[in-house]
Amino acid sequence: MYFLKSVVFVICGSILYSSCLATEHNPVIDAFNREAISPDLIPKAPEGLLTVQFEKGIKANLGNTLSIEQSKKKPVDLSWPSSQEAFYTVVMTDPDAPSRRNATFAEFKHWIVGNVPGLKINEGKIIADYRPPSPPKGTGPHRYILLVFVQPRGKITFKEPFTPSDKSDGRPKWSVKKFAQEYDLGDPVAGNFFFVERKK
């Protein structure tokens, strides 16, 4: 009888341990859900962390606040769980244009680079050049969301014309969800985001 009880205890303990592992929180998913990025913007939050580093070691950190000055130039380094054999699309979008409460121009497209081989974003095709965060004064903090999609069929022939950084054509009222659907990108594999607010 003692032996049977011990066996039952070991089995139950293993089940409980496995259950705990299965329900362990993912900080990326938790942060995206907390800020309503998913399911409002994308159906499913990414599981992987996109490391985003700007100049002087400034990093995005799942909802930290950066200044306009800190984010005025495109990131100097991006990394995510990747394969050297795959191609990726990197997107940055603002769903709070002109404000989170009154997002009539949402989303605002800030950056798109497609056909990125592995982590070599400088070798990808720039579809929309980096447009730095510049939220209007008095509109509160804006969420600037960066997402990485794997291209399941390899290289893509993108139909969008190139958008330079100083042009706004095609940037307002954009949708990352529709973009992903159009090119069959599925759910993002990695992501990150930060806030920027203009107070003066």
| 187 CB-near residues (< 8 Å, 6+ apart) | 42, 43, 44, 46, 149, 180
Taken in order of first residue, the domains within the chain and their CATH numbers are 46-196 (3.90.280.10)
pLDDT given at position 199: 85
pLDDT of residue 123: 97
* Tens-place pLDDT, residues 116-134: 999 999 999 999 999 999 9
Our CA angle for 77, 79, 82, nearest 5°, is 150
- Tens digit of pLDDT for each residue in 145-197? 999 999 999 999 999 999 999 999 999 999 999 999 999 999 999 999 999 99
Token pair listed for 148 = 């990485």
Mean pLDDT computed over every residue of the chain: 90
The tokens 């603002």 sit on which residue?
A: 94
Label residue 18 exposed, middle or buried (CB < 10 Å: 0-12, 13-18, 19+): exposed
Asked whether the beta carbons of 137 and 199 are under 8 A apart, the reply is yes
**Cβ neighbourhood burial of 6 (10 Å; 0-12, 13-18, 19+):** exposed
